Amino acid sequence: MQYQIAIPSHARSEAINTFSLRYLADQGISRTDVRIFVAPDQVADYQRNLDPGLYGELVTGAIGVRGNHNAITNYYPDGIPLVRMDDDVRYIAQLINEKRLEPVHSLRETIAFAFEQAHLAGASLWGLYPIDNPYFMKDRIRSGLSFIIGQFFGAINHHDEVLGAEIKEDYERSIQRYIKDGRVLRFDFLTAIAGKVGGNKGGLQVMDRAAMNEQGTDYLLANYPEYVVLKKSRRNGYREIRLKDGANRQTA
């Protein structure tokens, strides 16, 4: 199956070589299918530090998480299969039992399988379990309204997908595709393993995450009241949301 891979990146011009780009290369993904999207003010830094043997093209995207994802949507043709992944993904893992995960044998086969299952189900968006904890994972494919984390997912690219939420853009994408197709597909036996936050500086860590979280939360509550409910505030003071379907049933 032919698909493209887009990596939105921020302040990780060196780490991305070690994480996502190396993983893709080791899994036999052609570098010509891989594009990295960065804000205009970071292009020169990435040009200096990226390993040219690990990617096909460095593309000038937009500032911010939301802006860069919208830039990716507009860059690619409408209707093509597109995988998006964070710049710190180490590998995709599969559930073995409630105590153990193992790396998938073939990333290419896993992606092809996911797109095939989504097509059969009539879904244009698929994703992985959002937490890399085998205790909570299940050997199932969820079809309906589920949270599809932006860390690693596949979708048929649609130019009418315009995101307004900042950093919680993956919640908005999940809702939009559910409204569009009546379902999204989530593989609860697959998850993404990322680099350790403390040793992998960059990404949201160098942004005003608190302000972005507030903007995203307010935007989603205002624009998707049928599908979003406010959860109890976390100890760090951040307000968090949870998805719900039209019957007000909460979903993970």
What number of residues does the chain have?
252
Pair 106, 29: CB distance under 8 Å = no
CA dihedral 82, 87, 92, 98 (to 10 degrees): -130
What is the separation of C-alpha 193 from the centre of its chain, rounded to a whole number of angstroms? 12
Quick one: 239 exposed, middle or buried, by C-beta within 10 A (0-12, 13-18, 19+)?
Answer: middle
pLDDT tens readout for residues 49-98: 999 999 999 999 999 999 999 999 999 999 999 999 999 999 999 999 99
What's the CATH number where 135 sits? 3.90.550.10
Containing structural domain, residue 187: 4-251
pTM to 2 decimals? 0.92
Q: How many CA atoms lie within 13 A of 150 on its CB side?
A: 24
Q: What total number of domains does the chain contain?
A: 1
- Report the pLDDT value the prediction gives residue 199, as an integer from 0 to 100: 47
Per-10-residue mean pLDDT, the chain, length 252? 95 97 98 98 98 98 95 98 98 98 98 98 98 98 97 98 94 98 98 74 58 90 95 73 70 61
